[in-house]
Each structure stands twice: as structure tokens, then as C-alpha cells.
Amino acid sequence: MTISRTDPFLVAGFVGAVFLGAVVPRIRAEAWPAYRGPTGDGVCHEAIDLDWPAGGPPLLWRKPLTDGFSSVTVAGDRVFTLIRQRTPQDRELCVALRVSDGTTLWSTDVGPAGYDSGPEGVSGGSDGPRSTPVFHNDRVYVYASHMELSCLDAATGAMLWDHDLIGEFGGVNIPWQSAASPLICEGAVLVNCGAAGQSLLGFDPVDGALLWKGGSYNCTQATPVVADFGGRVQAVFLTRRVVVSVAPANGEVLWAHNITMNATSTAASPVTSGDLVFVSSGYGTGAAAIQVAQDGEALAASEFWRKRAELMSHWMTPVEHEGHVYGQFGYADYTTAPLQCIDVRTGIIQWTTPGFGHGGLIRVGDQLLAMTDRGYLARVEATPTAYHERQRFRAVNSGVVWNAPAISDGRLYVRSTKELAVYDVSLAPPAPLRLEGELTGPGFLRLRIGNADATPVDPGRLGGIEVLAADDPSVSILEWEATGIVPTWVDGAFEFEETIPAGTARRFYRVVED
């Protein structure tokens, strides 16, 4: 019996006193719920198709958008981003678009849209929202340019709660206005508003109640990140003069390191690699690696290396892979800033290739998907040995790209200041499998997993196959027992044998495949 992706468990046959079950693929699609993905580090954990035609993967849809440097988040059947609406008033809107075709499902006003205008010659005069909405438990959280923190219903866009952090907490905005996205971690919505004595704030995501506040840290445009040092989950903030890590639930400072960033714009998020935290900023600042180590029962941070006025990231957060960071480094090098590979433990450049500008990138396995700021996407190997570009195509036709792509459920999302383009990067489903079996003697069962069309099974699929068993097929899949059986490839199929436990009246088998 052939089982499709959507079929529930089915009885496929009967052998003596043993029932056989279905071969059911596991679905590994991921949401992209926050700025720079599900883990906030710019890494896609979903398997996608990277073998594209010369012109790029198939285009699913393209939608015009009004101004904004916001990236996108994706959850369920919705895509969320921020745009600028100039009439009848100049406002920021959070919009939800339908994943399948880009239809606008709702839009909600989240605050005023006045900005320190970007350089018109390079941004096209398209200044707009710079932060990215965050999806969590059927809600969307927005930290707007003028420090208004909002919680919206993801289905309808209804405002559930909001805080004016300037009016309520004395928040101090910065040049170019706030661009950091909220971070949700350990049951708290975390932001920095720059207020004396209460810079860092933690809110209850359900009702917006203040959970904790503390610190006197000038805010930056850098979104905080989740890290784990010393076996403890923590949120790392890059502020104007301090890199500080706090316990998300109560704001306890776990470690801090003094480092002076520039007073104009620090926008790239911290990047963790082992025991190091890599930070970088433009306007003459440069880059540094901070080492976090155990100091008795506490954690302590110290400078590992520092380069001034070098490795400057204007706002493009790098990605990490096997002890190296990859990213566009440059200050005001619009269209020309290079993509570089940096050894995170030494700060030494391993290779550099110009012409990317101030776009953004993500990593999929050992591949980089790097956007140029003029709309081209390059697929590059994440290796320190040399620059290896495998493909390049025009992903957006208009506007400027000053953010990173997103990937969810086999779709690649690329946004510019003028449009959002969505491409099909889904993997073709493998051939459906059939599960068969026979009793080879009293208490012995032989099972065979083969292609439903009788063609040979690809031996490479073995690593994704797991055999489960249960005496009652109605129980939750979580209650099925992993047999530990490792099938072997025999004559174009996978085979395995099982000794049926004594006294078993009936037994069901299910094979799940990643």
C-alpha cells in the first residue's frame, strides 16, 4: 500500500498474528519566526533544493511593497513584514501576506514613520521601517522605529497590547531611530530602550506586563541574540559601550564586557562561535572577539582580539560556520563592499570578494545565500579555503536590499525596499515506499521496504529511516517504540528481521522517514 504525505497511519497487511503499518515521511519544514530565522543566527535548518536552473529557482510570486528595510518572518500561511504608508499620515504598518500568493490579509498601524532619511543616492529615498516582526504562539511582536512595542493577533492583526517605551520608561532613541527586533526567550519579550536605570526590559508575551527592568545601556540598532555559555541560556545585547548578557527570565546580568562602539549606528548583531562573541560596527569602530569563560560559579568576559577601523559591518550581520564568520564587511561601501571569510579566533581574513554592497546573507548547511544590495543572490560555499561561487541570479528587480533573505517550507523570500519575491526551493518528494512482510518461522518476521513502483530504492535513504512498533495502533506516534532495527539494502530494497515478543497477540509496525 502506498502512503502519501498526508495519510494517517493505515494497516497495510496482515501476517499471522502481526499487523503491518505504513511508511510515512516526516515533515521537516520550518517556520522562519524571527529576525534571521528560528535560531536567530541566520542559519536555515531545513533541507532545500540548491540545484537551481541558470536563471534561479522557479518564481512563485512577486509583490510590490512600499518602503522599508524590514526583513520577513513566516509562520503557517502568513508572511509578516513592516512597510511605510505615507498617506493619509506617515505611519509604519505591520502587514500579513498570504504565503501562497502574496495577498494582503491584514495591516495594522504600529507607530509613526518619521526617520532620519537615508542617503537618497543609494537607498533611492526609500527610507522606512528597519526592524523585523517576530512570530510567537499565534502572535506577532513589533518594535517600531520610535520605540513602540506592540503585540498583534497573527490571525487578524488586532492590537492585543502595546507600550510606548519613550513615554512610559523614558526611552532614548538614537540616530536613524530604532532598528532592533524584539527577542523572545525563556518566556519574555526582550528589548533595549536606552533609559537610565531601566534600559533592558523584559515583558510577559501574553499580557505585556513588565517582568523586569534594569541597567543603564545606550541602545543600538543591533538585535540581541540567544546564547549558551556555561550551560545557561542567555540573551546577549550589543549596546553602545558594553556587550552584556542577561538571564531572559529575570534580567540578571551574567557577564559584561566594556567595549566602545560608535555613537551613530551599531546595527550588526553579535555572533557566537564556541566560547567567543564576535562584534562589528562601522563609522571607524572595527571588530572584536570577546571570550566568555567560567570563573568559579560565574561567567567572565575578556577581549580575545580587537581590530580598530577594520572588518567594519555597517549593519550586515555575518553568519558563523566551523570557526569562521562570513559576511559583507564595509562602511558606506554601497554596491562595492566585499563578502569576506574571517577566522573568528584570529580576526585574519581568509578570502575577500568585492561587489556585494550592504545586502545580507544566511547559511544553509555549507552554503551561503548572499544578497547584493542591488538585488542579486549568490550561492557561495562556506569554506575558508577560497571563494567558490556556484550560482548567481537577479532575485529582485527594483529597490535596494539592506536585509537578509528568509526560508520556510521550501520557499525562499527576498525583500527589497520596493518588492518581495518568493521562490520555490522545495525538494522533490522521494518515491513513495511500500512496507511488506512475511513470517519466516514461529515468532520471526521479515519486513521489506521497497519503492511502491518496484524500482530500486536509493540506498542513501537508509539514514533517514526509523522502524517503530506498537501493540495498539491508536496511540499517539510519540508512544510508538523505537525498535532500534537498522535495515540493510538487499536487491533494491531495505530488509530487516524482528523476533516477535512471546505472547504477542498482534503487533503493528510503522516506518518513518526524514
Last-in-domain residue among 424, 445, 479: 424
User: Could you tell me if residue 281 is inside a domain?
Assistant: yes
Indicate if 476 and 498 belong to the same structural domain: yes
CB 126 within 8 A of CB 67: yes
Indicate if 165 and 234 belong to the same structural domain: yes
CB 191 within 8 A of CB 169: no
Percent of the chain residues topping a pLDDT of 70: 93
User: Could you tell me if residue 2 is inside a domain?
Assistant: no
Place of cell 524584539: 182
User: Could you tell me if residue 239 is inside a domain?
Assistant: yes
Last-in-domain residue among 392, 424, 456: 424
The CATH number given to whatever domain includes residue 23 is 2.60.40
Residue 205 has pLDDT above 70, yes or no: yes
Domain limits for position 75: 43-424
User: Could you tell me if residue 492 is inside a domain?
Assistant: yes
Q: What pLDDT band is residue 16 in, cutting at 50, 70 and 90?
A: very low
User: Could you tell me if residue 4 is inside a domain?
Assistant: no
Q: What is the pLDDT of residue 12?
A: 35
Three-class secondary structure assignment of 199-227: CEEEECCCCCCEEEEECCCCCCCCCCEEE
Indicate if 163 and 248 belong to the same structural domain: yes
In whole angstroms, what is the distance from residue 168 CA to residue 491 CA? 71
Stretch 122-145: mean pLDDT: 90
Indicate if 369 and 453 belong to the same structural domain: no
Stretch 60-65: mean pLDDT: 97
Indicate if 466 and 370 belong to the same structural domain: no
Tell if the pTM clears 0.95, that is, is over it.
no
CB neighbours of residue 156 within 10 Å: 12
Last-in-domain residue among 379, 394, 424: 424
Q: Tell me phi and psi for residue 283, to 5 degrees.
A: 55, 40
User: Could you tell me if residue 261 is inside a domain?
Assistant: yes
Indicate if 119 and 92 belong to the same structural domain: yes
Dihedral sign of CA atoms 391, 394, 35, 47 in order: negative
Mind listing the pLDDT tens digit for each residue in 163-184?
999 999 999 999 889 999 999 9
